[in-house]
Amino acid sequence: MKQDAILFIDVDDSTAVRYNYREPHFAVARAQGLVCLTAGVTGRRHLQRLRDDSDAVFLLDALNEEAILDLVGQLDEQYQIRGIFCQAGHPSAQGEVGCIVARASRRLGLVHSSPEAIAACNNKFLMRRVLKQHAIRSVPFALCNDEQQLQQNAERVGYPLIAKPPFGGASAFIKKCANWAELRSHYALFVRDHGGAAYADFYGCVHTLPEDDGQRHDYIPGRSLLLEGYIPGIEGSVECVVAGERVHPLLINEKLLLTERSGTVLENLLISPPTSFTDSQCAQIREYAVACLHAVGLTNAVVHFEFRMTEQGPVVIEINPRVGGLYVNAALRDLAGIDPYQVYLSLLTGGQDVTAQLEAGARKVAETGQHYAMLAIYPQHSGRFEGIEGMEYLDRNAAVLEYAQQEPGHMIDADIEEHYLLKCWAKVDDAADARALHDAVSQHLRVIIDNPVAG
């Protein structure tokens, strides 16, 4: 008799693990009696990582649809594959795994997200283009592959502007530029140092984008830079679940404290539910998130939707086809009563109670009177992270519900991307209480970084 199983396609072969995604989904799957299988591409350096929490590991000759289909065919005698998934927000140098898995799943008749929508979410140039086609509030934008294009398009987009890779992770090489000198300097830094980013694999691979305006657009990792009009206002996120084609905008987070570095923007403190948005604004934010997700066509997904609230209304920053980072999972659990990993697994395997569960979660969020805070501690300079002193303060603090520290022993660059050295999830009374907690944690803990690199 065949065993019911799920299959995860893993492309994270970095020195330090980039995300905790496969593991929590597998924990839920095992509780439901499913076998947990993982596939990676031949030549992986960190194969043991996959074996540690998988019932079986398989190696693909290449990251493409045919390789996945061949593997599923080989597994057919022993397993009934109920769903195939990946971290869809990780476009790797080997290919856009989210799109590849979606197309393979579609050919197998399994539940999947729209591959075209995943492409539009991961490539922010495509996202802006889709929103423009649907006349949804956005900002001017341009994709540039050299200095000449950069200077010409910057004049059209207008200063100040945001310059960033169209693909990417950990807010790497994002900068607000006020003039050509700043933009030119940022581009030179990006071209020179892009390969040194811990999340460099997230830039994806060279390819030509689908034409829309009659112009050919080539995407080249380490050369292509996206320009966007600067979006003023308070920043936040909407945590959504798309069940089939129906979007459920469950929870809004407000970012209370952001820090701009020379090549990245750090999220230091968030509060859930938000305290700066009125009920009317929250309704507008949810409606806007739904409109954007319908426009890109995303289906069957958990989504982290980032925006800024302007005088004209919310404007999207990015759409991530995955569970949000920091403690978004805890926010969904404690505020909506929802385990995002269980919900996504139910979507993949055809669970029948997902819609009722999401509707109940939305009601729970609306009725809550408790606020929660996510906070993060980042390095002040580059070097080798050796650990944090004073962690006992977190254990003694009744407000702190959870915390996690980055694994020490790795070199980090503090100026080009975000590194969560520590993240916390806590109960707070309001925004002032959240800020006080952030300040207290910063004062009581001491980050140890050896061999600082001048930044």
Q: What is the pLDDT of residue 452?
A: 55
- Architecture of the structural domain at 3-111: 3-Layer(aba) Sandwich (3.40)
192-199 average pLDDT score: 79
Q: Please give the pLDDT value at position 402.
A: 96
Instruction: Write the pLDDT tens digit of every residue in 291-344.
Output: 999 999 999 999 999 999 999 999 999 999 999 988 999 999 999 999 999 999
Q: For residue 455, what pLDDT is reported?
A: 41
Average pLDDT for 145-166: 95
DSSP 32-72: TT-EEEEEEETT-S-HHHHHTT-SEEEEESSSSHHHHHHHH
CATH node for 234-453: 3.30.470.20
Contacts for 198 with CB less than 8 Å, ≥ 6 apart: 14, 15, 16, 18, 170, 412, 413, 417, 419
**Do residues 194 and 200 make contact, with C-beta atoms less than 8 angstroms apart?**
yes
Q: What is the mean pLDDT of the chain?
A: 91
N-to-C CA span, the chain: 60
Architecture, CATH, for domain 140-229? 2-Layer Sandwich (3.30)
Domain with CATH 3.40.50.20 in the chain: 3-111
Structure tokens at 11: 């492309």
Q: What is the pLDDT of residues 17-52, one digit of tens each?
A: 878 899 999 999 999 999 999 999 999 898 899 899
| Angle 323-327-329 from CA coordinates, rounded to 5° | 45
Produce one character per residue of 217-247: b if its CB has 16 or more CB atoms within 10 Å, e if not.
Answer: bebebbbbbbbbbebeebbbbbbbbbbeeeb
> Is the CB of residue 69 less than 8 Å from the CB of residue 51?
no
The length of the chain in residues reads 455
Query: Which position has the higher pLDDT, 258 or 280?
Result: 280
All CATH 3.30.1490.20 domain ranges of the chain, comma separated, are 140-229
At 15, the pLDDT band (50, 70, 90 cuts) reads confident
Span(s) in the chain for CATH 3.30.470.20: 234-453
Q: Name the β-bridge partners of 218.
A: 208
pLDDT computed for residue 170 by the predictor: 66
Q: Which tens digits make up the pLDDT trace of 75-104?
A: 999 999 999 999 998 888 888 999 999 999
Tokens of residue 388, six digits:
């944090």
Q: Please determine, for residue 217, whether its predicted confidence score (pLDDT) is greater than 50.
A: yes
**Rounded CA gap, 371 and 382, in Å?**
34
157 φ/ψ angles, rounded to the nearest 5 degrees: -65, -40
Q: What is the mean pLDDT of residues 366-392?
A: 90
CB proximity list for 158: less than 8 A, separation 6 or greater: 140, 229
Q: How deeply is 281 buried, as exposed, middle or buried, from its count of CB atoms within 10 A (0-12, 13-18, 19+)?
A: middle
DSSP for 382-450 reads: EEEEEEEE-THHHHH-TTEEEEEEPPSSEEE-TTTS---SEEEEEEESSHHHHHHHHHHHHHH-EEEEE
